[in-house]
Structure 1
Amino acid sequence: MMTPPGNARLSMLDRLLPVWILAAMGAGLVLAVFVPAVGSALHAFSIGSVSVPIALGLLVMMYPVLAKVRYSDARTVAGDRQLLISSLVMNWFVGPALMFALAWVFLPDLPEYRTGLIIVGLARCIAMVLIWNDLACGDREAAAFLVAVNSIFQVVAFGALGWFYLQILPGWLGLPTTSADFSFWAITLSVLVFLGIPLLAGYFSRRLGEARRGRTWYETRFLPKVGPFALYGLLATIVMLFALQGEQIIDRPLDVARIALPLLIYFVATFLIGFAVGKLSGLTYERTTTLAFTAAGNNFELAIAVAIGTFGATSGQALAGIVGPLIEVPALLALVYLALWLRPRVFPSSTSHERTRTHV
């Protein structure tokens, strides 16, 4: 896999992330077929509908990416109202509405997968978008600010939006709503646990780490040590999920393909819309790129957590969530190259000097 020109190289773990994800999916399928007791054990060791090992994997996955956010520096771009308003509209209106429409168009007869896709559309990106934005020469401080805004906004509003898109809006349109056991509070609780806990842990890690040892130590010594655990948690979670979902995936390959198609359309469409909005709003290339990637990326970690916490680890909603990273990672990497290709054509006056980047 080539690294986009003019950018710092990603670590081998990050550069081969699609490979690791495919390997994790394959390992989970092997366990599902040849060691079915693993799936039974994961299901048995649960609190409510949440498998404890999977919950731990999700929390481990979320913490490092939230510990990377520069919460104090992000405030310096808060005065850019055009960027903030555009991002809020893209993330909390355009993105969820587009995914709602795509889910109903492509999966009208598969309500569990449709619901899973809608949940993915509600989970705005707060993690890997920083990598894609950096590779595409986006504005790093603006990305950090928008990530922080999205993090806080998700804790506050995700449950209400889930209730609106899964029950209220379908009712207005004369469409079937979700099953009767859908719970507004279940999604809210899932968000508070799976996003709120690692968000607070990430914030206080940075605040205390910088206060005691300084930013240089925090970003060059601490973050490189905890950073890989996001990938470890993600891969472990995918292995466990596929161990539980393996039979459904093997038995329903066409369903998986039907889930993948609207996801691919969604990622490309939201990126292009975000890029066009940034250009028409008079933003620079750097902030236009940041806007586009924060709109296109989705927090599949949170989507998986909410689907599991609300509907169970073996549900169709969870399956739709775990198809997300398989499609998102290669799609957004391809969009990095598209952004760099568009830069001299759409922003001919954009500075050509290369910024010094430090990946942590």
Structure 2
Amino acid sequence: MSEAVAVVPGKAPSLGTFERYLTLWVALCIVVGIGLGQAMPGPFEAIGAATVAEVNLPVAVLVWLMVIPMLLKIDLGALGQVGRHWRGIATTVGINWLVKPFSMALLGWIFIAQLFRPWLPEAQIDGYLAGLILLAAAPCTAMVFVWSNLVEGEPHFTLSQVALNDTIMVFAFAPIVGLLLGLSSIAVPWGTLVLSVVLYIVVPVIVAQLWRRALLAGGGEPALAAMLGRLAPLSLGALLLTLVLLFGLQGAQILRQPAVIALLAVPILIQVYGNAALAYWLNRRLGVAWCVAGPSALIGASNFFELAVATAIALFGFQSGAALATVVGVLVEVPVMLSVVWIVRRSRGWYEQGAGISPG
């Protein structure tokens, strides 16, 4: 998720005014998108049809505007610090890659495919499941620096954990998504999935790292921070424009069944709180310091929804249930993660009463 701060170890980022009210802006995008989609469906349909090799070109441009500034914050050189906090790293990696995608697939099956099925459009059930899987298959990349700061997290741990997650994501995202979609009996368009990984992960990582090195070589951290400040409004604007396009094409379906968004939020909320609690508890059992356990729980709970939205559109289209399900993740992200921050801070006394707390 994007925000308007540079990631510099030891320098505390903050949640900007615009980012603090992201849920409000997303809600406004829903209203504007649905309204425009009903008033002028032609332009939205033309944008939805602008594809080459199963990739929607307008969305590809918007995703690059969203993702590259976010990846520009990440120093892959921080991978050398992974061993300093190995217990917290091991816990977070396990939650992100061995628990979260599979628990979301299970929750989606229980709630969307079974309990809520009578209240959902039958033709979209598989799409909703696919969207939930995509949402959980990659951990958040940038906004976690803000969450980490809000819980007084150890900045070097957060930086090294995010750098490791980005590296794993390049190789693990497509196989995990393909496996879980297959288990859910959803046809996997492997060519489009691999192309999405290349377009939305591999290429942006390479571009961002080359650009980061050039900025640091030319002007150091001030130059990087200045560039991130200039790019942040563009990045967030691209996200909001993508949502307007998405809801412009989804509007008719949402107006027919407005409760769909609330029902899709249920497994997402359970997954976020469940994975945060599991990561926090495991860190306590392993004797990890609270300043590491806090960001570990938050990284374990949050999702890289920009990637999820882009991949859902590429794989299944603007009007798919998959695209709608990923956007629900955008809608709930900020308030839910702020509530997890509050819980972690309030529980510090309980956490530190645990036996065997180590320095890292």
| TM-score normalised per structure 1 | 0.87
Between the aligned partners of 1:39 and 1:29, the Cα distance in structure 2 is 11
1:301 matched to 2:306: yes
Q: Is the 8 A contact 2:20 2:334 kept in 1?
A: no
Structure 1 residue 8: Cα displacement: 6.4
Aligned to 1:205: 211
1:166 matched to 2:181: yes
Structure 1 residue 83: Cα displacement: 2.2
Between the aligned partners of 1:213 and 1:106, the Cα distance in structure 2 is 52
Structure 1 residue 238: Cα displacement: 0.8
Superposition map of 1:264-275 within 5 A: 264-275=269-280
Which residue of 157, 160, 165 corresponds with 2:172?
157
Q: What value does the CA root-mean-square deviation take over the aligned residues?
A: 1.8
1:288 matched to 2:303: no
1:42 matched to 2:40: no
Between the aligned partners of 1:50 and 1:29, the Cα distance in structure 2 is 23
Structure 1 residue 37: Cα displacement: 1.9
Superposition map of 1:1-360 within 5 A: 9-73=14-78, 75-108=80-113, 109=117, 110-167=125-182, 170=183, 177-179=185-187, 182-219=188-225, 221-347=226-352
Q: Is the 8 A contact 1:49 1:308 kept in 2?
A: no
Bigger shift: 235-244 or 35-44?
35-44
Structure 1 residue 348: Cα displacement: 5.9
Structure 1 gaps, min length 5: 1-6, 171-175, 350-360
Alignment size in residue pairs: 333
Structure 1 residue 49: Cα displacement: 3.3
Q: Is the 8 A contact 2:14 2:149 kept in 1?
A: no
Between the aligned partners of 1:68 and 1:315, the Cα distance in structure 2 is 32
| TM-score normalised per structure 2 | 0.87
Q: State the identity %.
A: 30
Question: Letter of the aligned partner of 1:240 in structure 2?
Answer: L
Question: Letter of the aligned partner of 1:214 in structure 2?
Answer: G
Question: Letter of the aligned partner of 2:171 in structure 1?
Answer: V
Q: Is the 8 A contact 1:307 1:321 kept in 2?
A: yes
Q: Is the 8 A contact 2:76 2:163 kept in 1?
A: yes
The 1:94–1:78 alpha-carbon spacing in structure 2 relative to 1, beyond 3 Å, is same
Between the aligned partners of 1:305 and 1:9, the Cα distance in structure 2 is 27
Which secondary structure state, in structure 1, belongs to the residue aligned with residue 347 of structure 2?
helix
The 1:8–1:72 alpha-carbon spacing in structure 2 relative to 1, beyond 3 Å, is closer
Which secondary structure state, in structure 1, belongs to the residue aligned with residue 229 of structure 2?
helix
Between the aligned partners of 1:56 and 1:121, the Cα distance in structure 2 is 23
Between the aligned partners of 1:115 and 1:73, the Cα distance in structure 2 is 33
Between the aligned partners of 2:54 and 2:269, the Cα distance in structure 1 is 29
Between the aligned partners of 2:83 and 2:26, the Cα distance in structure 1 is 35
Structure 1 residue 229: Cα displacement: 2.3
